[in-house]
Structure 1
Amino acid sequence: MYTIHPVPKCYAWGSRGSLQRMFHLDGADAQGPLAEMWFSGHAQSPSMLDVPDADGTTRQVALTEMIARDPDAMVGARGVSEFGPELPFLFKTIAADEPLSLQVHPVDFQARAGFNMENRQGIALDAPERSFKDMNAKSEMVVALEPFLASVGFAPHAFALRNLQLLRSPVARRMVQAFASGGRRGDDSFAQADMMMPVAATVWPESRKRVFRAFHTAVTAAASDPQELLDDLRQAAAQATHARNVMAFDFATRAARAFPGDTSVLALLMMNPVRLEEGESVFLPTGVPHAYIYGTGAEIMTNSDNVLRAGMTVKHKDIANLLQCVDCRPSSPVNPSDSRLGTLLMRDVVFYKPGVSEYVLAYGHVDAAEPWPIVDRLAVRYDALVQQMRGRGVVPHAGPRVLLCTQGEIVCTTETGSRTLRQGEAVFIPASDGWARVGGESGSYLMASTPF
């Protein structure tokens, strides 16, 4: 196994304390708020490994270079066969003190088309106006390490209308109109939105087109007066009666404070507000609109940095491509009790297994004396699933793994050796190291791996 160094990402919405404490960084180690720490095999931001030389010295080598040298040893023959000579996942820790962009990730054919199009246009891979950094589809999963707030996917129409009808904003009223009457025969009041629908919309039901028109209205509207927008949201929130509606207004108000006058915050009132407690998770398939609002968590995703933004950002917006990718089907957030996301609970570890072939994530705790209370709490919430899964044991992994100590101290033992990790330290465990076991006296950890 190799020590792996995360790649820090500093963005305006990041935290000034959470990740700094986890990785024991002082103010000189991060330029501005620290938003993400990448454990990465992505070509544009690879992590460095400490690799020993024959003379006993150690030098740093990019993970991408190590994989290129010996892909079978690093990611395994099965991984090379299925995904090519690369790490199939990108693992991050993330901390948001302010809301971050309203965004969508593309499916595979859209990623390939967008990547090739931007290459033909001569847009550099590191250019700020670049949307497609690679040709990979991007799904992702987040696991909360502390209370984590997010807006995820479109909520049922009735929920969106209850929220929007409380507002006086002309943009919100037009969104209501899109839900109520857009698309009637002879009605061309949403012609611009209809022209921006993807080709697949020809077979969409009218209800899905109405969601698209309302969302289009929010993300393409001109900026509003910042104070008027804030006052409108606050007065509407005071009239909301259900806890989920109140939460949606809270998220939109936070976003309106962070991005004054940005009417795209109204799209959050169409979306599912989610609060995750530690250990709870949500899976984001490609095309699902989402915005993280606040909190610290672990993210794992396909090996992609493709992000299409529609608002709530100072970065490049690509509304046209986002609208071609957005999934307008109202749905509940995918959580561990859903058939698409199986969670295996044991005494001291939770396995999060979304329905993708690139990644799984484990969140675990070691303590010689006490069981982990998070497991008991999740067992109550997901009782039916726990009854199905308990007792099946852990499926061994034969692929690459990244192990991060998040608290205390842990010991990682593989077929080839053993390492002690303290908070903020991490190792890359290549496929050739075989099985891996985590133990110790007291500590918590995250392990990202492929589901082999």
Structure 2
Amino acid sequence: MRILKNSVKDYTWGSSSFIQELMGGRVSFRGPAAELWLGTHPMGPSKIVSEDNEESLEEVINRNPVEFLGKDAARRFPSGLPFLFKVIAAAKPLSIQVHPDRLRAREGFHRENAAGIPLGSPLRSYRDESHKPELLCALSEFHALKGFRPAGEAWALLRDLDVELGEVESFSTAKFFRNLLSMDQGAVSALLHRVSGAAKERAGTDAAIGWVFKLGLQYPDDPGCLAPVLLNLISLRPQEALYVSPGEIHAYLEGAAVEVMANSDNVIRGGLTAKRIDRTELMEALNVEEKPCSVMVPVAVGSCEMQYRAQAEEFMLSIIEVDGAHAYRSAEKRNIEVYLCTCGSGKITEAQQGCSLPFERGDSFVVPAFIASYSLTGTGKLFKVTIPSIQP
């Protein structure tokens, strides 16, 4: 069991308090703290901390990947830890975006390398070769957009905003969105000027129209302001979750959450940001399916653990809750696990040697696969990410 020291990202949309309070003084920021990264991604790698030393988590894994990741995981993921674990705290909306599938990520990464664009350049959309499925689990009330609304819903909301449309039978949400992103700026500005008055007048009648009004104040000439009536608007309560597949359009609007994804920082943006926008690439990567969005809830797998059953081979997210009467006991055979404590305190104790490590709110630690079994005691809540095993 090893304590982790993690990277914090100070993106402008971040909160001035959430991550700072979670970490309890472990990070010091005068400005916003948007994301806390736990993992080995080169843009924000974690370190293992001992009493007198700090060492890269990636280097420790690479020295003995079978013992650290697990035999099955090391065979399936020879490049190392396949997931990136985050806390995000959004005080302002994030961009409208999609993440690429494997083929597009590989092609885009090599294309930008061949063009000589530095890895850390803001002109990049592809910072690695990985696809990026992701799972977001709310820590607070969390508002998000995900996937295209059914045509009838979007058509009715656009009509409420005084947008001139044909008959609903011929309307397509995805096609309207594509046309919107393809319009010249003059036409976009004229459309948004007409919409803004209706959005202000009717902001209190529908949550999606309320978000159109809010976004219009921040990005008055951005076609992404209409996204809340074109995409499914979801409000998550704590512990409710969303799974986002590659190619699925989404935007996170407000709130704090745990997020786990394939070990990638690839983002193709379409609006609502000062960062690089590549609408042509976004439309090529886009899944245009129009359907309602479902919310995930965890499934109990024991007295202390609840799991989120996402369709991802790289990661599985769980919540572990312990109290004085109930301790969590791990399986004897498992892959690497990364923990973050979000509430309370306790200790983790190795079963064979009896070695223990205390933890409290804001602490994160890694449990290598070679530790056969362990227990968690105390009173608190922890999020655990592991690599799901593939049964033979």
TM-score norm. by structure 1 comes to 0.79
CA distance in 1, matches of 2:239, 2:330: 18
Aligned: 1:398 with 2:334 = yes
Q: Shift of the alpha carbon at 1:236?
A: 4.1
Q: 1:101 to 1:418 in 2, by over 3 A?
A: same
Quote the residue 2:120 is aligned against: 126
Q: Distance in 1 between matches of 2:332 and 2:218?
A: 44
2:223 paired residue number: 263
Equivalents in 2 of 1:21, 1:346: separation in Å? 30
Change (3 A) 1:230 1:137: same
Asked if 2 retains the 8 angstrom alpha-carbon contact of 1:7 and 1:40, the reply is: no
The corresponding residue for 2:300 is: 344
* Among candidates 424, 427, 440, match of residue 362 of structure 2: 424
Distance 1:397 1:353 in 2: 20
Give yes or no for the alignment of 1:282 onto 2:281. Answer: no
RMSD: 2.5
Q: In proportion to residue count, which structure has more helix?
A: 1
Please say if residues 155 and 173 of structure 2, whose CA atoms lie closer than 8 Å, have aligned partners that are also in contact: no
1:254 correspondence with 2:214: yes
Contact 2:326–2:377 at 8 Å: present in 1 too?
no
Distance 1:128 1:101 in 2: 14
Distance 2:33 2:86 in 1: 12
- In structure 2, do the counterparts of structure 1 residues 237 and 395 end up closer, same or farther at CA, with 3 Å as the change threshold? farther
Give the letter for the 1:93 counterpart.
Answer: V
Structure 2 Cα separation of the partners of residues 434 and 260 of structure 1: 56
Give runs of aligned pairs for residues 28-67 of structure 1, distance below 5 A.
29-51=28-50, 58-67=52-61
Residue 346 of structure 1, CA deviation: 4.3
Alignment of 1:12-23 (within 5 A): 12-23=12-23
Q: Distance in 1 between matches of 2:167 and 2:11?
A: 35
The structure-2 alpha-carbon separation of the partners of 1:58 and 1:370, relative to structure 1 and needing over 3 Å to count, comes to: closer
Match of 2:280 in 1: 320
Decide whether the 8 Å contact of 1:179 with 1:211 is kept in 2: no
Native 8 Å contact 2:343 2:361 kept in 1: yes
Measure the CA separation in 1 of the matches of 2:266 and 2:292: 24
Q: 1:152 to 1:396 in 2, by over 3 A?
A: farther
Change (3 A) 1:220 1:15: farther
Superimposed CA distance per residue, residues 257-311 of structure 1 (whole angstroms, 9 cap, x where no aligned partner) = 3323322121221111111111111111111111111111100111111111100
- Distance, in Å, in 2 between the alignment partners of 1:397 and 1:357 is 18
Whether the 8 Å contact between 1:131 and 1:307 is mirrored in structure 2 is yes
Question: Secondary structure at 1:73's aligned position in 2?
Answer: helix
Q: Which moved more, 1:260-269 or 1:323-332?
A: 260-269
Matched, 1:335 2:301: no
1:155 is aligned to: 149
The DSSP-based 3-state class of the residue aligned with 2:8 is strand
**Contact residue 397 and residue 450 of structure 1 kept, 8 A:** no
Per-residue CA deviation, residues 307-359 of structure 1 (Å, 9 max, x unaligned), is 1110001111111111111111012324336xxxx733544432112011111
Q: Secondary structure at the match of 2:13?
A: strand
Amino acid in the other structure paired with 1:356: A
Q: Is the aligned partner of 1:413 residue 2:349?
A: yes
Counterpart Cα distance in 1 of 2:109 and 2:158: 36
Between the aligned partners of 1:143 and 1:436, the Cα distance in structure 2 is 25
Deviations 1:55-107 (A, max 9, x none): xx531111122122221122122112111131111000111111111110111
> Identity percentage over the alignment?
29
Preserved contact between residue 131 and residue 306 of structure 1 (Cα < 8 Å): yes
* 2: CA distance, partners of 1:258 / 1:396: 52
Report the 3-state secondary structure (helix = DSSP H, G, I; strand = E; otherwise coil) of the residue aligned with 2:67: helix
Match of 1:218?
180
Render the CA deviation track for 1:96-146: whole Å, top value 9, x for unaligned. 111111110111111111111111111111000100011111010111111
2:70 is matched with which residue: 69, 72, 76?
A: 76
2:373 alignment partner in structure 1:
435
Which structure 2 segments of 5+ residues have no match?
none
